[in-house]
Amino acid sequence: MNKDCKGCQRRKDKLNQWVPKLGDRVEMLASPIDEARRNLMRWAVVAPFLAKNSILKAAWAAVGAEPPIPLWAVHGFVRTCLGVQRANYFKHGHHLNRVDMLNAVAAHRSHFTPDHPGYVWMSVFAPGREEVLPGWKLDFANITRGYPRAIAGELNDDGFRFILRSEEITLIADEGVAGVYEAPTIPNGPPAQLLDEAKAYPGIKETAMVRRRGLQPSKILSHSAIHAVHRMPAEHLP
């Protein structure tokens, strides 16, 4: 019996008037039945979603592929790479190449436990493949052409271009932003090696995570790099 139901309460009181405690006993018997009914209704709502999810997982497994991961998780992977790059630059004075960057990210796999938001992408991260995440191919290049270059009042000796493409969306970043640009994936998009800067990519739009670097190096390391790698402890950064 629903305690918030005024009609139920009136019926209970009426039964108690007719026979002492009869209404209380009816409520005691009815409560488990009512709860079971509500649980059945909840299951009826949730079951189609669970069935759809299971079917999708089985379909991807049947073709030997990983299911795609959500866009927010892909952004998390890119920001983690940017944080690792920024930390290495301020510690060693240069940006990492593709292999070293991805290996540095993979080295922290144990920090991304199943209850960690970054586990969504880290659990399927493949640093040795062109498709570093299911459905996403990485085009990365270290750039020395046009450097040293002043960015937000700081002189950078080298740079990098980071382009992560899926069939529909492209994410673009470089050393000059503390976030990620988005653009629709286009045929024959410019390769990382020839891209002058991230914001020069055709069709980009700024996401909520994009802002120009305008902090002192120590503050960039503490705010951008550490936050970008999903709360990775500072002592574990390269």
Quick check: 222 pLDDT over 50? no
Domain range annotation of the chain: 6-62, 71-236
Quick check: 43 pLDDT over 50? no
Q: 115-120: long-range contacts (C-beta < 8 A, 24 or more apart)? A: 116/230, 117/73, 117/76, 117/230, 118/73, 118/76, 118/77, 118/80, 118/230, 120/69, 120/70, 120/73, 120/76
Confidence at residue 68, expressed as pLDDT on a 0 to 100 scale: 77
Q: With pLDDT > 70 as the criterion, what percentage of the chain qualifies?
A: 59
Name 207's Cβ contacts closer than 8 Å, sequence gap at least 6: 75, 179, 180, 181, 182
Quick check: 23 pLDDT over 70? no
Please indicate whether residue 8 or residue 43 has the higher confidence score (pLDDT). 8
Beta strands, E only, 43-144: 137-143
Confidence at residue 177, expressed as pLDDT on a 0 to 100 scale: 78
Please indicate whether residue 197 or residue 227 has the higher confidence score (pLDDT). 197
**190 pLDDT tier (thresholds 50, 70, 90):** very high
Confidence at residue 217, expressed as pLDDT on a 0 to 100 scale: 34
Please indicate whether residue 66 or residue 81 has the higher confidence score (pLDDT). 81
Q: In whole angstroms, give the CA distance from residue 65 to residue 73.
A: 18
Most confident range (mean pLDDT) of 56-60, 94-98, 226-230 is 94-98
Q: In whole angstroms, give the CA distance from residue 65 to residue 213.
A: 38
Q: CA triplet 94, 145, 103: central angle to 5 degrees?
A: 40
Quick check: 166 pLDDT over 80? yes
pLDDT (average), residues 198-220: 60
Please indicate whether residue 26 or residue 127 has the higher confidence score (pLDDT). 127
Q: Which two tokens stand for residue 236?
A: 């574990």
Quick check: 219 pLDDT over 60? no
Please indicate whether residue 226 or residue 48 has the higher confidence score (pLDDT). 48
Confidence at residue 7, expressed as pLDDT on a 0 to 100 scale: 66
pTM for the model? 0.63
